[in-house]
Amino acid sequence: MNRYGWMVVRAYLPALAALAAAVVCMLWTSLFGSVESLHLLVPYVRWLPPVFLLAALVTGLVATLRLWNWKSGKTPRCAGCGGPLSALHHGAQGDYRKCLACGGKQTQST
């Protein structure tokens, strides 16, 4: 897999983690819902899957929009590889953006 493939995997990793957490919560409620000692937690854990699914939807949508804006040329690009740049960071040597594909730092002149 090339650097752009890994960039896409890293972009969608929070959405995949939220989906996995939702599945784990659904399994927990179905497997341990009848256990007497854990029966009191089921009403609270039952609300977690919709929350995690909503989080997966939002993070997946944000990742999709960021990649779409990069492909259409609406966001800054790396001078070295052409990958998308992160948000502005304030460092000791000045402001910079980090490339999400190659990891290089691009200095910002303000």
Walk along the chain (110 residues) and give the pLDDT tens digit of each residue: 888 889 999 999 999 999 999 999 888 888 877 777 777 777 788 899 999 999 999 999 999 999 999 999 898 888 888 889 888 888 888 888 988 888 888 887 65
**Predicted local confidence at residue 48, as pLDDT:** 92
For the residues of 34-95, what is the DSSP string, one character each? T-TTTGGGHHHHTTHHHHHHHHHHHHHHHHHHHHHHHHTT-S-B-TTT-PBB-S-EEETTEE
**Predicted local confidence at residue 37, as pLDDT:** 78
Give residues with Cβ within 8 angstroms of 61, minimum separation 6.
Answer: none
**Predicted local confidence at residue 35, as pLDDT:** 77
Give residues with Cβ within 8 angstroms of 34, minimum separation 6.
Answer: none
Question: What is the DSSP-derived secondary structure letter of residue 99?
Answer: B
